[in-house]
Amino acid sequence: MPDPTLSQMDARTRAAWNGSSGQSWLDHQARFDAMLKAYRDAVLAAAAPTAGERAIDIGCGTGDTTISLAKQLGEGAHILGIDISEILLGRARERAKSEGLAIDFALGDAGNHPFDSRASDLLVSRLGVMFFANPVAAFTHMRRALSAKGRLAMVTWRSVRENDGACLPLEAARAFVKPLPQPDPEAPGPFSFGDRDRVNRILREAGYENISIEPFDAPLLFGIGATPDAQLDDAVANSFHIGPLSRLLADEPGDVRTAVCGALRKAYETRLTPEGVVLSGCAWILTATA
Ligand SMILES: C[S@@+](CC[C@H](N)C(=O)[O-])C[C@H]1O[C@@H](n2cnc3c(N)ncnc32)[C@H](O)[C@@H]1O
The amino acid sitting at 243 is: G
CB 79 within 8 A of CB 57: yes
What is the spatial distance between Cα 35 and Cα 236, in angstroms, rounded to a whole number? 16
- How many angstroms separate the first and last alpha carbons of the chain? 27
What is the spatial distance between Cα 156 and Cα 190, in angstroms, rounded to a whole number? 8
| Residue 80, C-beta contacts closer than 8 angstroms, at least 6 positions apart | 55, 56, 57, 103, 104, 105, 106, 115, 120
- Of all atoms in ligand 1, which is nearest to the CA of residue 82? 21
Question: Is there an atom of ligand 1 within 6 Å of 234 CB?
Answer: no
E strands within the chain?
Answer: 54-58, 78-83, 104-107, 120-126, 146-157, 209-217, 220-223, 272-273, 276-279, 282-289
Please write the tens of the pLDDT for every residue from 181-195. 776 878 899 999 999
Q: What proportion of the chain, given as a percentage, has pLDDT over 90?
A: 73
Question: Is there an atom of ligand 1 within 6 Å of 131 CB?
Answer: yes
**Angle made by CA atoms 15, 32, 152, in degrees to the nearest 5:** 75
Please write the tens of the pLDDT for every residue from 49-83. 999 899 999 999 999 999 999 999 988 889 999 99
Which pLDDT score, from 0 to 100, does residue 256 have?
84
What is the spatial distance between Cα 170 and Cα 134, in angstroms, rounded to a whole number? 28
Closest C-alpha to 165, from 70, 244, 49, 77:
244
What is the architecture, at CATH level 2, of domain 4-160+185-218+283-289?
3-Layer(aba) Sandwich (3.40)
Question: Is there an atom of ligand 1 within 6 Å of 127 CB?
Answer: yes
**Collapsed DSSP state (helix, strand, coil) of residue 170:** helix
Question: Is there an atom of ligand 1 within 6 Å of 17 CB?
Answer: yes
Question: Is there an atom of ligand 1 within 6 Å of 105 CB?
Answer: no
**Using CA positions, which residue lies closest to atom 23 of ligand 1?**
59
Which pLDDT score, from 0 to 100, does residue 2 have?
62
SS3 of 74-94: CCCCEEEEEECCHHHHHHHHH
CB 185 within 8 A of CB 172: no
**Using CA positions, which residue lies closest to atom 13 of ligand 1?**
59
Confidence of residue 243 (pLDDT cuts 50, 70, 90): confident
pTM, two decimals, is 0.93
Which pLDDT score, from 0 to 100, does residue 264 have?
94
